[in-house]
Structure 1
Amino acid sequence: MKRIHFIAIGGAVMHQLALALHNQGNIVSGSDDEINDPAKSNLAAAGILPPAFGWHPEKITKELDAIVLGMHAKADNPELLAAQSLNIPIYSFPQYVYEVSKNKKRVVVAGSHGKTTITSMIMHVLKHQGLQFDYLVGAKLAGFDQSVQLTDAPLIILEGDEYPASVIEKRPKIFFYHPHISVLSGVAWDHINVFPTYEIYRSQFEQYLKGMDAGASLYYNNEDSEVKIVVDIAGQALKAVPYNMPDFRYENGEAIINTTNGEVKVAVFGRHNLLNMQAAKGVCMELGISEVDFYNAISTFTGAAKRLEKIAEKEGLVAYRDFAHAPSKLKATLDAVREAYPDHLLVACFELHTYSSLNEQFLSEYAHSMDNADTSIVYFSRHALELKGLPPLQTEIVKNYFERNDLTVIDDKQTLQNAVQETLSKADRPVCLLLMSSGTFDGIDWNSVASHFTLSKSNI
């Protein structure tokens, strides 16, 4: 049993690690200047919700065995300064995860996109096969009560993030996991606030591969030219195994994969997700699962939360939400939905929400990323710009960067809701509504929007 204090305990994954350590029998405490649901309710249910918000350096005593420092905490955080003055061991999130899993076999899923889905697929198959394992994943997954689990299992599956570990450890999180098996799913520029050029961003993955032990397994996306460059540069000492798109077809919007043991119908769709499935298959087979058992298990995988998640379906309308926010993710998600629903009116709404997407220096990366929709709408809020300390954006300037003449750009929540409702009301064929954001569109109730949709049969 250890005494562990979390600085910035309210983070989405930080609080999940706190809960996992608490469930192991450790004495866990924490602080944060703001904690919202679901973290607030989860911590309260476990009895470890801080009694008051804010930073309390008096909580930092020599009795503590470790400090886990969240990325949200700044360098002048009073609790951090107190811990430093007392020489208490300070770990970033990934450093502590490694500390508690260094005796396990570690599988790390890395890359610019697809990490959560591939990690979730592996977890789903392992659970289906009854194997014991720990995990860390960045989304809610059906069949799992939490997104971080730590036990005495001999195996851990980790979603690996390239974002910096903490304010005092600014190297990417993936550098600290030291995997025995890894996936590299894609390389496409992101996090402009940390990696100001694409070359700097790509070099993080090169350093990651060079930091892996010689002979470790790497499953890499052979259809991503940038991934292949990274592997050629930095993967020479690894057991590098490419994966490619499987042979498949669509039938009534469902993907059917042609395998060596016959056809398999799967619940997820989109070429990017079928590629993700191939990565998961490679990992699972290395972990001892047969191809037949893999496909038997994966056929029941319905996806992670907010990853092409179906949120509404009624006569004439199907609606999905997706976490897509980077240009490559937008395009892959739109291509997937277009291919699965070729005869539907595809209405795509995208929210500029991340620091990169709201930064005018990065907006040119979105050129033509929304072209595959019949109707494309881009939304951003002035409040989000203020929170991130970015200058105002003009809707016309945003439109120009997307290079689509009929694109609609909106910076007001009610105007967005009205525009979508009007578009749906004029539909002359079945509609697929696709909502893409790492945020919430400022809390719009899309189920309510969908509930008012009625497709006039006389127009079909």
Structure 2
Amino acid sequence: MTNEKTLPENLRGVHFHFVGIKGTGMVALVEILNSRGAKITGSDVSEHFYTDDVLDSLGIKALPFSRSNITPSVNYVIYSSAYSAEKNPDLIEAASRGIPMMLYSEALGAISRTAYSCGVCGVHGKTTTTGLCGTILEDLDLPSQVLAGSVIASFGNSCTMTSPLCKSSDHHYFVAETCEYQRHFMAFFPQKIILTSVESDHQDYYPTYNDIRDAFVDYIMRLPHGGTLIYCADDKGACETAEIARSKRSDIRFIPYGEKAQGDYSLKIGKVSAGKHAFSLACTGELSIRVPGDHNVRNAAAAVALCRELLAEDKKNPADYTKKIAASLEKFRGGKRRSEIVARAVSPCGQEIIVIDDYGHHPTAVASTLAGYRDFYRGHKIIVDFMSHTYTRTAALLDEFASSFSSADSVIINKIYASAREDASAAPVTGKILAEHTAKKHPDVTYAAEFEEAAECALKKLSVPSGPKYPDGYVFVTMGAGDNWKAGKLLLEKLKNLGCEVKL
């Protein structure tokens, strides 16, 4: 059973070898274990990822996969679910030596047992909400560690935040992004949970909405007696999940947040002005964030709720920290591939181009993120290059995807980014089919299967003045859980070659 995996309380000098060390979650775990004094080695493919920069900062170099990586000093092996214990040489050698092996999710669960742990879950918004929690907690006098599923700018371009107070305290709070895919979060030991959203996703594992909803219910059931669920009252699926959990466990504290919520975390969403999105909570008054979208305002409300509840758990008065929390929120600048501004450039006709990369890969996330850009960048014309992730998701949500681009002025659709678990040749849908369906609902859609073609298409559109409706220029967005960020990179290279100014 995954919930039986344990680690020593004192990790100083314990040697962990990571297989697939460049994965974002794996790197975050490396940072946590490194901060606790563990010795780290790891292996992965040679291709360069942005996580290499995090590993470099820790003095860790990813080795090629090899049985020789498993030396006598290795105490534990942690591996990504992308690698097979029967095929990967590191894992084969570790098994032959009888070295304890854990999946990433199991290791995260083992770490969660050593602290007062809180899990952030939901189909959308997990990473941003976790990043917001860490940005606030860093400024509070609570010994805390936070693990997000991506690099967070306000963490110093790291995946984790470790409060200096952890060094002088045996007791600390641990907040982690916890993933619903294949029920990975069932290895986690939460005292409190944030639930942002529940709807159909990961159709390869959860064929129906009820399947994924019930997984979230089961996760909530892992709360101890008197545990806390903080859930979004504006999300139908989250509310339904909370009600089912309430019918099973009357001992759990249910704390809603959102515009439809009653109580401390009743939310009023304000206007966007001067690069800030204003909002207010019943318990704090006026607050603001510097990232776009009503969905991110809700994520901020969830983060404020958890941090205030942790202050109360620590016998502190949350009201005394309102100003600190407000200041912390304004420091948040998003995460890697989460509305990340990767460059600012000047178009061939002299207009501003803001180049953004975003991980949005579900129709709800695509629509809400683009709507946020439309509100935040009102004077800019929006061009989105979208690469759908997995054939199963695209097929199951084809009509929803086709209807999700209304806030963009121009849409470019790439080929589908397949999961390693899929047989693309047997799929009932393609990127071209998605583009054809989208064209029935949007007036400006282009199918560009490859990134070179997409970059050329974008350059052509950006070379035309944006018009009087959009006096400020353009926003160009690469969106999806695939690798179409490469289309943005190619576009920037083409702009440079034309002599246009590009600032990364």
TM over 0.5: yes
Matched to 1:160, the amino acid is: T
Tell which deviates more after alignment, 224-233 or 394-403. Answer: 394-403
Q: Deviations over 1:41-84 (max 9, x none)?
A: 55466454355x223178265x6432222212114134434444
Distance 1:409 1:385, change over 3 A: farther
Matches within 5 A, 1:216-255: 216-236=227-247, 237=249, 238-245=252-259, 246-247=267-268, 248-252=270-274, 254-255=276-277
Question: 1:161, CA displacement in angstroms?
Answer: 1.0
2:181 to 163, 172, 190: 163
Question: 1:155, CA displacement in angstroms?
Answer: 1.1
Confirm or deny: 8 A CA contact 2:142 2:173 kept in the other structure: no
Confirm or deny: 8 A CA contact 1:425 1:453 kept in the other structure: no
1:339 matched to 2:375: yes
Matched to 1:229, the amino acid is: E
Q: Which residue of 2 aligns with 1:284?
A: 307
Confirm or deny: 8 A CA contact 2:27 2:159 kept in the other structure: no
Q: Which residue of 2 aligns with 1:36?
A: 48
Counterpart-to-counterpart distance in 1, 2:42 and 2:475? 44
SS across alignment from 2:155? coil
2:29 to 17, 31, 54: 17
Q: Percent identity?
A: 23
Confirm or deny: 8 A CA contact 2:67 2:90 kept in the other structure: yes
2:388 to 345, 352, 357: 352
Question: 1:35, CA displacement in angstroms?
Answer: 5.6
TM-score (normalised: structure 1): 0.85
SS across alignment from 2:434? helix
Question: 1:273, CA displacement in angstroms?
Answer: 0.5
Distance 1:268 1:419, change over 3 A: same
SS across alignment from 1:72? coil
Matches within 5 A, 1:40-79: 40=52, 42-43=54-55, 46=58, 48-49=60-61, 51=63, 53-56=64-67, 59=70, 64-77=74-87, 78-79=89-90
Counterpart-to-counterpart distance in 2, 1:344 and 1:15? 36
Q: Which residue of 2 aligns with 1:458?
A: none
Matches within 5 A, 1:436-447: 436-441=479-484, 443-444=486-487, 445=489, 446-447=491-492
Moved over 6 A (4+): 450-454
Matches within 5 A, 1:137-152: 137-145=148-156, 146-148=158-160
SS across alignment from 1:299? helix
SS across alignment from 2:152? coil
Aligned length: 443
Question: 1:133, CA displacement in angstroms?
Answer: 1.4
Distance 1:400 1:253, change over 3 A: same
SS across alignment from 1:68? strand
Confirm or deny: 8 A CA contact 2:132 2:300 kept in the other structure: yes
Tell which deviates more after alignment, 3-12 or 211-220. Answer: 3-12
Q: Which residue of 1 aligns with 2:424?
A: 390
Counterpart-to-counterpart distance in 2, 1:349 and 1:229? 34
Structure 2 runs not aligned, ≥5 long: 1-12, 260-266, 312-317
Counterpart-to-counterpart distance in 2, 1:347 and 1:149? 34
Matches within 5 A, 1:172-191: 172-191=183-202
Counterpart-to-counterpart distance in 2, 1:106 and 1:286? 13
Counterpart-to-counterpart distance in 2, 1:354 and 1:222? 29
Q: Which residue of 2 aligns with 1:404?
A: 441
Distance 1:24 1:176, change over 3 A: same
Tell which deviates more after alignment, 273-282 or 361-370. Answer: 361-370
Q: Which residue of 2 aligns with 1:3?
A: 15
Q: Which residue of 1 aligns with 2:293?
A: 270
1:293 matched to 2:324: yes
Distance 1:449 1:256, change over 3 A: farther
Over aligned residues, Cα RMSD in angstroms?
3.1
Question: 1:362, CA displacement in angstroms?
Answer: 4.4
Q: Deviations over 1:11-33 (max 9, x none)?
A: 22213423543453333333335
Counterpart-to-counterpart distance in 1, 2:390 and 2:309? 36
Confirm or deny: 8 A CA contact 1:43 1:49 kept in the other structure: yes
1:257 matched to 2:279: yes
Question: 1:322, CA displacement in angstroms?
Answer: 1.6
Counterpart-to-counterpart distance in 2, 1:196 and 1:111? 17
Question: 1:348, CA displacement in angstroms?
Answer: 2.1
1:423 matched to 2:461: yes
Tell which deviates more after alignment, 238-247 or 445-454. Answer: 445-454
Confirm or deny: 8 A CA contact 1:192 1:355 kept in the other structure: no
Q: Deviations over 1:243-294 (max 9, x none)?
A: 0133212235532224566644431221100011110110111122433332
SS across alignment from 1:213? coil
Distance 1:86 1:206, change over 3 A: same
Matches within 5 A, 1:307-322: 307-313=338-344, 315-322=351-358
Q: Deviations over 1:410-433 (max 9, x none)?
A: 202222112112222232133333
Matched to 1:380, the amino acid is: K
Question: 1:131, CA displacement in angstroms?
Answer: 3.5
Structure 1 runs not aligned, ≥5 long: 165-171, 455-460
2:406 to 338, 353, 371: 371
SS across alignment from 1:54? coil
Tell which deviates more after alignment, 178-187 or 262-271. Answer: 262-271
1:90 matched to 2:101: yes
